[in-house]
Chain A
């Protein structure tokens, strides 16, 4: 009997030579634009709730909520969802520790904007929709992402996109945020040979 649960969630593939595709100023401008788009679309900041998908959607949702609150002058609730237990690949991957879902605002009847860093296959968003609907029945759900890299496997699209980034499936897009990684940057790199 071996002693131990899995602890490291290190990427199996080793990316080689990451290229920066967004610097911190570009990320800031993209988020400012998305914040304005959200308010414009919602016709104001009332009955609005921003919900970030852990890990990096959570600080993005907070930033958007802060930005909207500053130029609209009303507080905007934000929260974070952990969708690990809702994923369709939960039975295929090694279990990882689950973080808390912290959506303290009532989502019933309000416009919820789901926020994530990268939109790829759409499967995370599918899981997030299930997780969100377990918390209540929003009037409408929209999706905001910092990067849309394509390659959807489900009929899901984003309403607000920071940057459309054409990629190949052999590439890795990684978003770094000050809150989680100490810097703001979007990088793209190739999977190394032998990586899977």
Chain B
């Protein structure tokens, strides 16, 4: 298995299939009265989060605990050593000295996990770095899609919204294309960079042009925290042009699905009705995330790394 998971670029279609197959088997465990496996007994996993997160951190924490690993949570907030001015490198070395086996890292700077991987012997898993990647989100999205559609071949996926600032979009485009799906990026020209064409996806600026053709409408969160300059006039105008509302929801194909990585900005990229419709599998994405992260932790930490 790969030593670190930093980018979806590292995973071939057969790697992804192996991760998803194992996750499929692990879903059964989450329905048992005793939801725990002894697999990672004695291993220590550290969640190192320099940015706010609820679902990703909790999901990783629960996944590690379900596999019997010990979990430490380090949030770089006002109560931590980072507030006293400790550098990223010193924090990494401190964790290394404590003997952690894996570091799940989220950081505002693109490439921070790559840097971390060069400093420590522990396995590094990227849980979101700046505008770069969020590979485990892509894996759980692929898993959620495969559970509904069985096959990626011929699947039309629209990723809608703030592509420019989205690490979720970048990782998902790579994963979806690797698995054989077609991807269309949709959003205002200010949020869909021309350079995105080089990723191998189609670019469309009008959601109404594609909404009736897609199998999956994947809405990205409008990232207000990353939008220093105004890239669209107002929330209302964004919702009118690129939000998934009840009108657009009704125009979708009968079996088409709505996905969102969360947290939702209701009334901006997705209306309340759309987020609560039968098409929306947003909460499935969350529960699937647990199985996918268990699968990944097992495959990366479960055995002896004799082949790398």
Contact = CB atoms under 8 A, between A and B. Distances in A.
A98 B2 contact: no
Given A93-B304, A94-B307, A97-B22, A3 B11 contact: yes
B38 interface: yes
Contact of B303 (A3, A7, A90, A100): A90
Contacts of A25: none
A101 interface: yes
A95 B32 contact: no
B2 A95 contact: no
A7 B22 CA distance: 13
B1 A6 contact: yes
A30 interface: no
B190 interface: no
Contact of A134 (B12, B24, B32): B32
| 5 shortest interchain CB distances as A-B pairs | A95-B303, A95-B302, A85-B39, A100-B25, A98-B25
Contacts of B300: 95
B230 interface: no
A1 interface: yes
Contacts of B231: none
Contacts of B22: 97-98
A95 B37 CA distance: 15
A193 interface: no
Contacts of A10: none
Interface residues of A, number: 26
Contacts of A1: 2-4, 6, 10
Contacts of A92: 303-304
Interface size grouping (class) on chain B: 35 or more
- Interface centre among A7, A85, A134, A135, by most chain B C-beta atoms within 10 angstroms, is A85
Interface in A96-137: 97-102, 130, 134-136
Contacts of A99: 25
Interface in A1-24: 1-7
25 contacts: A1-B6, A1-B10, A2-B308, A3-B2, A3-B11, A3-B15, A4-B12, A7-B14, A82-B25, A85-B38, A85-B39, A90-B39, A91-B302, A92-B303, A92-B304, A93-B303, A95-B298, A95-B303, A97-B18, A97-B21, A100-B25, A100-B28, A101-B28, A134-B36, A136-B33
A87 to B, nearest CB: 9
A5 B10 CA distance: 10
B124 to A, nearest CB: 11
Interface in B48-75: 67
B225 interface: no
B26 interface: yes
A86 interface: yes
Contacts of A82: 25
Interface of B: 1-4, 6, 10-12, 14-15, 18-19, 21-22, 24-26, 28-29, 32-34, 36-39, 42, 67, 295, 298-300, 302-304, 306-308
Tell me the interface secondary structure of chain B in the complex: loop
Contacts of B21: 97
Contacts of A98: 22, 25-26, 295, 298
A120 to B, nearest CB: 21
A90 B15 CA distance: 20
Contacts of B14: 4-5, 7
Nearest to A86: B38
Nearest to B9: A3
Contacts of A91: 42, 302-304
Contacts of A7: 14, 18
Contacts of B4: 1
A24 B178 CA distance: 44
Given A5-B2, A5-B18, 17 more contacts: A3-B10, A4-B2, A4-B15, A7-B14, A7-B18, A85-B38, A86-B38, A91-B304, A92-B304, A95-B1, A95-B302, A95-B303, A98-B295, A98-B298, A134-B32, A134-B34, A135-B32
- Interface centre among B2, B25, B306, by most chain A C-beta atoms within 10 angstroms, is B25
B2 A2 contact: yes
Contacts of B24: 100
Contacts of B307: 6, 94
A163 B24 CA distance: 36
A85 B298 contact: yes
Nearest to B302: A95
Interface string A28-72: 000000000000000000000000000000000000000000000
